[in-house]
């Protein structure tokens, strides 16, 4: 039996499918048009497509031997994460930022922080020794300052277009993000050869320096 790979649907999936194809792993059905979520692939691999935040869960529990998701998701999953991070795939590059309305004073007084990345935001402000109120949101984070829900946001920024369109600007860079390969602890030991083959195949098609 070959490996099961948990894949982050959406933008990361779109960017990682060509990479997987170059590594000899291609789903036998069209992953974009199919309503299926589990796919057999060339090389005997099995692909499961899911929300990014579920990828670490599937890998930690060993339902998937390996997973592909963003560093943002891995950081948000937390310090207790029980899996190995084996490879930076060099795709899905972006950054986690604090953003605020253009020109706003965010250095004094109480601060309300809207974000999907509650744990990342808490540890960022803990690190700064600043007490803030973190407001969890599931989406459309950029409208939180506009609507008066929050003073700043912690969110993923790529081109910065979304921020600009909502009257926001980048203030603090928390961390650079890219897509990572994570490996279940047991699989890393009991299926070492298969895991190593996959890591080497992906490393070979990943841009150098990533």
The three state secondary structure string of 164-189 is HHCCEEEEEEEEEECEEEEEEHHHHH
- We find the least distance from the C-beta atom of residue 136 to ligand AMP, in angstroms, to be 15
92: left (phi over 0), alpha (psi -120 to 50) or beta: left
Contact segment (CB under 6 A) with ligand AMP among 105-113, 159-167, 180-188, 193-201 equals 159-167
The one-character DSSP state at 21 is H
Q: Which is nearer to ligand AMP, 162 or 197 (CB)?
A: 162
Contact segment (CB under 6 A) with ligand AMP among 124-132, 157-165, 183-191, 201-209 equals 157-165
Burial zone of 106 (CB within 10 Å; 0-12 exposed, 13-18 middle, 19+ buried): middle
Scan residues 39-78 and list those touching ligand AMP (CB under 6 A).
70
The residue count for binding ligand AMP (CB under 6 A) is 12
Among 60, 124, 155, 198, binds ligand AMP (CB under 6 A): 155
Contact segment (CB under 6 A) with ligand AMP among 79-87, 101-109, 118-126, 150-158 equals 150-158
Among 20, 55, 64, 157, binds ligand AMP (CB under 6 A): 157
Counted residue by residue, the chain has a size of 210
Across 23-47, b (16+ Cβ under 10 Å) vs e yields bebbbeeebeeeeeeebebebebbb
Q: Which is nearer to ligand AMP, 53 or 162 (CB)?
A: 162
For position 159 contacting ligand AMP by CB under 6 A, the verdict is yes
Euclidean distance between CA atoms 110 and 203, whole angstroms: 46
Binding site for ligand AMP (CB under 6 A): 11, 70, 92, 94, 155-162
């Amino acid at each position: 039996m070959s490996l099961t790979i948990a894949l982050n649907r959406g933008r990361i999936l779109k960017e990682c499918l060509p990479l997987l194809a170059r590594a000899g792993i291609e789903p036998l059905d069209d992953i974009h048009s199919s309503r299926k979520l589990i796919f057999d692939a060339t090389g005997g691999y099995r692909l499961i497509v899911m929300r990014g935040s579920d990828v670490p869960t599937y890998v930690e529990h060993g339902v998937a031997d390996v997973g592909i998701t963003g560093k943002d998701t891995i950081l948000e999953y937390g310090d207790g994460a029980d899996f190995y991070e084996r490879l930076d795939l060099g795709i899905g590059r972006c950054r986690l930022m604090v953003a605020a309305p253009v020109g706003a004073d965010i250095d004094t007084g109480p601060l309300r922080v809207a974000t999907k990345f509650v744990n990342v935001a808490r540890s960022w402000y803990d690190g700064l020794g600043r007490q803030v109120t973190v407001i969890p949101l599931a989406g459309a984070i950029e409208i939180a300052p506009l609507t008066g829900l929050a003073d700043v946001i912690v969110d993923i920024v790529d081109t910065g277009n979304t921020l600009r369109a909502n009257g926001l600007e980048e203030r603090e860079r928390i961390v650079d993000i890219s897509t990572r390969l994570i490996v279940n602890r047991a699989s890393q030991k009991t299926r070492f050869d298969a895991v190593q083959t996959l890591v080497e195949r992906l490393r070979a098609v990943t841009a150098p320096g990533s």
